[in-house]
């Protein structure tokens, strides 16, 4: 362990919500902490706010009174940068502007010793670029905490192009000593979480723009079928539409406008109109007093089919067969080549979405992917305008007989959960193969940083990488913009996964 000794002073520059959170983490861990803010008086106000939060920790029996008093005694505010002299670590949490951060760190180098570790909490700027103007860039790292920093365990430890290995290791070990779960990653746009999470938002917004469903229905399907804690619309309302769009735009520009990271025009219009989410009272949803939350579309009750015929394998949906039997519906199984289907009494075919449309398959009814079909509370169905009404009714009744709510959405390729998860899996494998982070760290980051129900590498393994790859291939065929084009990494792993070599290390 090369973590900083607890006697070593830690400074935090910038005393907004994130800066205060980081300071509290270091303080509770046992370090002397110094606060500085360019606005006079704010550091002192931040120290008082942190002290009040320590009081609440005592009330909740998470700190003793003696521990609180000792922590308060270790917390000081500095009126000038020179007051940070002698610190062993300085973490910056100021405005996300490259010029402002560079100017700050150049000034800090005139104050602190050459052995002081310097760190930025940036979520969207290049760590290499921020540290590039320094006299000693090797001691500069990214320490990206997630808000609220005292509660969320993840810290992305980002090594810039000039960062010394010893500095990255010291930052990693210090974050771990503070009770956090650090992941090591390279300095690429979005690091791990903000890079791999882009499709979660982008696909939801695109589905809305394609008129597949309204925000409430898309959110409900992502939660109740996909297993995500929140849907994309409600989550970005919580984050702030301006904040979320800014990160998306930064990642897109940093990747030279790669189509896979294209921002949403619908979100742009939301930001332009001032509807920023909860903080402004309106976003995708209305949070003003008296406003009612819209309900997701849920199909009316339909009778279950007397039987289903299972033709071929259902891939990631294979568990449905046992559930259908448990519901008391007769299951007849027949071998068959090609895509697996559930043949309904009226002759309609029900298939797991594979990236094609119902219209392109002569009226097949598609159902969406679920994290766990047994536990899923809702299933989305899609059918073409030419699909016989009986086929859609029997498909609806089948899933209702399994205890699921059913949302019928537009006939869009890949539906909601399947195309979202496929794109997340693809970006995860691409990141691992490009050396951004290890597979284990990618999965840890996505579970802890954005509360995904599974790490995307593990999710891809469970689904079958060939299935993910082929679904994205169909999406690319229907949308040649390149937005859904599978990566070379996914291509490589999908074609060796049958040999048990499809999971990167």
Residues marked active site are found at 123, 144, 156, 194
Are 13 and 52 in contact by the 8 Å Cβ rule? The answer is: no
- Strands (E) across 52-193 are located at 75-77, 89-92, 117-120, 140-145, 154-159, 181-186
> How many angstroms separate the CA atoms of 295 and 420, rounded?
22
Tokens for 257?
């406008």
Q: Measuring CA to CA, which residue among 191, 82, 181, 176 is closest to residue 126?
A: 191
| Of 238, 159, 212, nearest in space to 366 by CA | 212
* Residue with tokens 């405005």, as numbered in its chain: 95
Asked if 331 contacts 318 with a C-beta cutoff of 8 angstroms, the reply is no
| Nearest partner of 199 among 258, 256, 147, 154, judged by Cα | 258
Structure-token match 């299972």, residue found:
310
Task: Give the residues across from 34 on adjacent strands.
Answer: 11, 76
Q: How many residues does the chain have?
A: 505
> How many other C-beta atoms can be found within 10 angstroms of the C-beta atom of residue 443?
22
For residues 448 and 427, what is the distance between their CA atoms, to the nearest angstrom?
17
H-assigned helices in 402-482: 417-433, 439-450, 456-463, 465-478
Q: Please give the Cα distance from 456 to 228 (Å, whole number).
A: 12
Question: Distance between CA 14 and CA 178 in Å, rounded?
Answer: 20
Long-range contact pairs involving 178-182 (C-beta distance under 8 Å, separation at least 24): 178/25, 178/26, 178/29, 179/25, 179/29, 179/153, 180/25, 180/145, 180/153, 180/154, 180/155, 181/153, 181/154, 181/155, 181/444, 181/448, 182/154, 182/155, 182/156, 182/157
Rg from Cα positions in the chain: 26
Q: How many CA atoms lie within 13 A of 276 on its CB side?
A: 9
Helix (H), strand (E), coil (C) string for 18-61:
HHHHHHHHHHHHCCCEEEECCCCCHHHHHHHHHHHHHHHHHHCC
């Amino acid at each position: 362990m090369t973590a900083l000794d607890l006697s070593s002073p830690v400074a935090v520059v910038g005393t907004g919500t994130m800066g205060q959170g980081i300071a509290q983490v270091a303080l509770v861990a046992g370090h002397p902490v110094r606060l500085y803010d360019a606005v006079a008086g704010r550091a002192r106000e931040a120290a008082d706010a942190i002290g009040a939060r320590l009081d609440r920790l005592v009330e909740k029996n998470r700190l003793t009174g003696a521990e609180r008093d000792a922590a308060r005694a270790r917390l000081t505010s500095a009126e000038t940068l020179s007051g940070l002299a002698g610190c062993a670590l300085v973490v910056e949490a100021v405005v996300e502007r490259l010029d402002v951060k560079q100017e700050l760190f150049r000034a800090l180098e005139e104050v602190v010793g050459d052995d002081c570790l310097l760190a930025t909490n940036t979520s969207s700027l290049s760590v290499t670029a921020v540290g590039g103007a320094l006299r000693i860039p090797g001691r500069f790292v990214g320490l990206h905490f997630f808000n609220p920093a005292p509660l969320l365990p993840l810290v992305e430890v980002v090594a810039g192009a000039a960062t010394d290995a010893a500095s990255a290791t010291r930052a990693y070990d210090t974050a771990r000593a503070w009770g956090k779960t650090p992941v090591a990653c390279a300095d690429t746009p979005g690091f791990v979480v903000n890079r791999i999470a882009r499709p979660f938002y982008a696909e939801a917004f695109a589905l809305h723009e394609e008129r597949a469903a309204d925000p409430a229905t898309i959110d409900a399907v992502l939660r109740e079928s996909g297993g995500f804690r929140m849907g994309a619309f409600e989550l970005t309302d919580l984050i702030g539409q301006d904040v979320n769009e800014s990160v998306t735009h930064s990642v897109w520009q940093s990747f030279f406008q790669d189509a896979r990271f294209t921002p949403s025009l619908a979100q742009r219009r939301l930001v332009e109109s001032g509807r920023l989410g909860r903080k402004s009272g309106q976003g995708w949803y209305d949070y003003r007093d008296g406003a009612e939350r819209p309900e997701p579309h849920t199909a009316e009750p339909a009778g279950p089919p007397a039987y289903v015929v299972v033709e071929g394998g259902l891939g990631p949906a294979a568990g449905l067969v046992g559930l259908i039997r448990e519901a008391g519906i007769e299951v007849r199984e027949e071998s068959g080549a090609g895509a697996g289907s559930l043949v309904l009494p009226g002759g309609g075919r029900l298939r797991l979405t594979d990236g094609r449309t119902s219209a392109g398959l002569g009226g097949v009814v598609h159902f969406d992917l679920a994290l766990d079909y047994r536990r899923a509370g809702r299933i989305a169905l899609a059918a073409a305008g030419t699909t016989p009404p009986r086929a859609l009714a029997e498909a609806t009744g089948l899933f209702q007989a399994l205890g699921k709510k059913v949302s019928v959405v537009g006939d869009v390729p890949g539906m909601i959960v399947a195309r979202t998860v496929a794109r997340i899996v693809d970006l995860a494998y691409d990141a691992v193969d490009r050396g951004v982070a290890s597979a284990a760290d990618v999965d840890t980051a996505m579970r802890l940083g954005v509360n995904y129900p599974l790490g995307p590498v593990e999710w891809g393994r469970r689904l079958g990488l060939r299935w993910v790859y082929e679904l994205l291939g169909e999406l690319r065929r229907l949308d040649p913009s390149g937005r859904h084009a599978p990566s070379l990494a996914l291509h490589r792993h999908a074609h060796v996964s049958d040999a048990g070599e499809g999971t990167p290390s």
